[in-house]
């Protein structure tokens, strides 16, 4: 079966989506859409296959969604447009896979979930940590009790973005379309990872600052998390830590400690080592600590491949809409706690 895929958005993340999709056998990119017709045409031309007609470029969303054949739309528009664009695609009977976050509020996320369920189409979110071999091994270890009872976690996203990063696209650093700063735009991958590994958070305390950049939203945040399962943790996110350092997560349970750097297992210390050792996988090639550019699309490729399998089989993707909503709800709680100066409960 050939899957005909449309790329909605013309920023750097949409190029990543296109590179990831075109590397999957049986996938054909047939259409590209962006507000800037020239950028849409350039992206379409860049992903034309030799000897084949290039993807058609559109500047108008509804015309793009009416393109046929088309079964799946990869949404890479600004975060605050994900629900609008995803719902429009669902109304045309198209499956929807959106870049993180699902949208910038639970209200918008719920609208997108409802639209896809009403249309009978699949909805997924790009959280590529869930495809990393070492992290999948760790999730299974925790689920099977190999780490014992989770006790404490420390997660640090100490990245750096130069001033020009926020001076580029009109939505960066603004509440309206970005929905927040270092927590929503960068740290949400790590919040999704913590929710996936440790389950729901029952209480949040937080402090946020706009410490370095001249933007509307936070560039620095520190949060304490109390998990429903009993573990406690801290979460830091910043784009102000020059020159930028790999994401680090340290997780201890009653049976040992695991350290993650980037998307790989940096240390595994368990009282009872598992029969099968953790996978020896290389770290990410993406310089996320100091650049928004994704050089290696392997994680996005794995997310797309998993999503297509869910479409084929009628199964559930690694991160569907309801799973993707959880991290949005947690980000909202962090912002509410920071504004209130007291603990809050995620909605």
Does 254 share its domain with 196? yes
List the single range of 154-158, 279-283, 342-346 with lowest mean pLDDT: 279-283
Q: How many other CB atoms are found less than 10 A from the CB of residue 13?
A: 20
Domain boundary among 68, 102, 126: 126
Would 265 be classed as within a structural domain?
Answer: yes
Q: Average pLDDT for residues 116-132, to the nearest whole number?
A: 98
- pLDDT given for residue 277 in this prediction: 79
- pLDDT given for residue 285 in this prediction: 53
Please give the backbone phi and psi of residue 23, each rounded to the nearest 5 degrees, phi first. Answer: -85, 0
Does 120 share its domain with 157? no
Domain boundary among 126, 153, 187: 126
Q: What CATH number did the domain enclosing 87 receive?
A: 3.40.50.720
Would 153 be classed as within a structural domain?
Answer: yes
- pLDDT given for residue 286 in this prediction: 63
Does 7 share its domain with 112? yes
48 to 4, 140, 253, 304: CA distances (angstroms): 13, 39, 49, 19
- pLDDT given for residue 84 in this prediction: 98
Q: Average pLDDT for residues 92-105, to the nearest whole number?
A: 98
Q: How many other CB atoms are found less than 10 A from the CB of residue 303?
A: 27
Does 140 share its domain with 254? yes
Does 58 share its domain with 173? no
- pLDDT given for residue 283 in this prediction: 57
Q: What CATH number did the domain enclosing 167 receive?
A: 3.30.360.10
* Model confidence, pTM: 0.96
Cβ-based burial of 275 (10 A; exposed 0-12, middle 13-18, buried ≥19): exposed
Would 301 be classed as within a structural domain?
Answer: no
Would 268 be classed as within a structural domain?
Answer: yes
Does 231 share its domain with 331? yes
Q: Average pLDDT for residues 125-150, to the nearest whole number?
A: 97
Does 16 share its domain with 53? yes
Would 177 be classed as within a structural domain?
Answer: yes
Does 122 share its domain with 157? no
Cβ-based burial of 36 (10 A; exposed 0-12, middle 13-18, buried ≥19): exposed
Indicate if the pLDDT at residue 295 is higher than 90.
no
- pLDDT given for residue 82 in this prediction: 98
Maximum Cα interatomic distance, the chain, rounded to a whole number of Å: 61
Domain boundary among 97, 126, 155: 126
Does 38 share its domain with 182? no
What residue numbers bound the domain in which 144 lies? Answer: 133-289+325-340
Mean of the per-residue pLDDT values of the chain: 95
Does 103 share its domain with 234? no
Indicate if the pLDDT at residue 246 is higher than 70.
yes
Question: What are 172-212's pLDDT values in tens digits?
Answer: 999 999 999 999 999 999 999 999 999 999 999 999 999 99
Q: Let me know: does 245 contact 237? Beta carbons within 8 Å.
A: no
Would 83 be classed as within a structural domain?
Answer: yes
- pLDDT given for residue 290 in this prediction: 76
Q: Give the H/E segment covering residue 209.
A: strand 201-209
Question: What are 307-330's pLDDT values in tens digits?
Answer: 999 999 999 999 999 999 999 999
Would 299 be classed as within a structural domain?
Answer: no
Please give the backbone phi and psi of residue 111, each rounded to the nearest 5 degrees, phi first. Answer: -65, -40
Does 212 share its domain with 263? yes
Would 212 be classed as within a structural domain?
Answer: yes
Question: What are 142-166's pLDDT values in tens digits?
Answer: 999 999 999 999 999 999 999 999 9
Question: What are 211-237's pLDDT values in tens digits?
Answer: 999 999 999 999 999 999 999 999 999
**How many domains would you assign to the chain?**
2
Does 213 share its domain with 64? no
Q: Let me know: does 24 contact 304? Beta carbons within 8 Å.
A: yes
């Amino acid at each position: 079966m050939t899957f005909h895929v449309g790329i909605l958005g013309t920023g750097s993340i949409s190029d990543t989506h296109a590179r990831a999709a075109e590397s999957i056998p049986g996938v054909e990119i047939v259409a590209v859409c962006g507000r800037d017709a020239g950028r849409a045409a350039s992206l379409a031309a860049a992903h034309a296959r030799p000897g084949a007609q290039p993807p058609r470029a559109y500047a108008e969303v509804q015309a793009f969604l009416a393109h046929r054949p088309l079964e799946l739309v990869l949404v890479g528009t600004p975060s605050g447009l994900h629900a609008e664009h995803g719902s429009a695609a669902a109304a045309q009977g198209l499956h929807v896979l959106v870049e993180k976050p699902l949208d910038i509020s639970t209200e918008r996320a719920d609208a997108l979930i409802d639209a896809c369920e009403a249309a009978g189409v699949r909805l997924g979110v790009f959280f590529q940590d869930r495809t990393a071999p070492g992290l999948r091994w760790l999730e299974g270890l925790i689920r099977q009790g190999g780490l014992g009872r989770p006790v404490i976690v420390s997660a640090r996203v100490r990245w750096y973005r130069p001033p020009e990063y926020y001076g580029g696209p009109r939505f960066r650093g603004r509440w309206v379309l970005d929905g927040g700063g270092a927590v929503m735009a960068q740290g949400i991958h790590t919040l999704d990872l913590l929710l996936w590994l440790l389950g729901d958070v029952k209480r949040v305390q937080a402090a946020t600052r706009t410490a370095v950049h001249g933007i509307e939203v936070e560039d620095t945040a520190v949060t304490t998390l109390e998990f429903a399962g009993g573990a406690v943790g801290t979460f830091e996110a910043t784009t102000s830590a020059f020159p930028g350092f790999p994401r680090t997560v340290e997780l201890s349970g009653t049976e040992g400690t695991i350290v993650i750097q980037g998307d790989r297992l940096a240390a595994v210390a368990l009282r009872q080592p598992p029969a099968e050792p953790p996978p020896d996988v290389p770290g990410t090639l993406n310089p996320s600590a100091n650049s928004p550019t994704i050089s290696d699309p392997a994680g996005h490729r794995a997310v797309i491949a998993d999503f297509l399998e869910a479409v084929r089989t009628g199964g559930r993707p690694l991160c569907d809409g309801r799973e993707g909503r959880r991290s949005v709800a947690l980000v909202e709680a962090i912002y509410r706690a920071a504004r209130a100066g007291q603990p809050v409960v995620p909605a």
